[in-house]
């Protein structure tokens, strides 16, 4: 069976086989705990820089039972941010304290590199004088990644950034 697993690389132990081929045992963690994946030379060469401690990755693994033990063999690895960016453009609703933060948010959006997938951006400004929220749907879609979302959250006057 082939599956995709996401996790944070906890450690990597590289070894050489009797034939001189390099392989590795990579320990990863996710919210359920630790697990180990065997990575043979071809996959290890292609993904060595991704499989470093602290990296968040998505692995394509082949899973099979040996007795009562589940063995995982890596067939590929990608940074989780790259997988998320390819997954589809998320639409964002950005809640602002007032119109003052619009220019700062716009300066982030106009500097974005074109991405494979784009999502709609909705600016929601709270107007305390009217006691209402004003929604503005931007006419252009933007490449939304976790980094973009984080950069927008850090702007002064941004109350909340949510995917919709």
Model pLDDT for residues 94-105, shown as the tens digit of each residue: 999 888 899 999
The Cα 14–Cα 38 span in angstroms is 10
In the predicted structure, residue 10 carries a pLDDT above the cut 70? yes
pTM of the full structure: 0.56
Model pLDDT for residues 42-78, shown as the tens digit of each residue: 999 999 999 999 999 999 999 999 999 999 999 999 9
Alpha helices, H only, 8-157: 41-47, 80-87, 102-110, 146-153
Residue with tokens 């994946």: 37
The pLDDT value recorded for residue 95 is 94
In the predicted structure, residue 116 carries a pLDDT above the cut 70? no
The Cα 14–Cα 41 span in angstroms is 10
């Amino acid at each position: 069976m082939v599956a995709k697993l996401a996790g944070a690389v906890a450690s990597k132990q590289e070894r050489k086989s009797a034939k001189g081929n390099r392989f590795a045992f990579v320990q990863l963690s996710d919210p359920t705990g630790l697990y180990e994946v065997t990575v043979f030379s071809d996959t290890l060469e292609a993904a060595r820089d991704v499989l470093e401690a602290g990296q968040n990755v998505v692995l394509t693994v082949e899973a099979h039972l040996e007795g009562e033990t589940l063995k995982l063999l890596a067939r590929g690895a990608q940074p989780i941010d790259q997988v998320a960016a390819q997954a589809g453009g998320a639409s964002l609703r950005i809640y602002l304290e007032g119109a003052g933060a619009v220019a700062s948010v716009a300066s982030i959006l106009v500097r974005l590199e074109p991405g494979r997938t784009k999502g709609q951006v909705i600016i929601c400004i709270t107007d305390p004088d009217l006691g209402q929220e004003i929604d503005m749907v931007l006419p252009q879609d933007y490449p939304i990644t976790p980094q973009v979302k984080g950069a927008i959250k850090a702007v002064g006057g941004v109350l909340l950034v949510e995917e919709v």
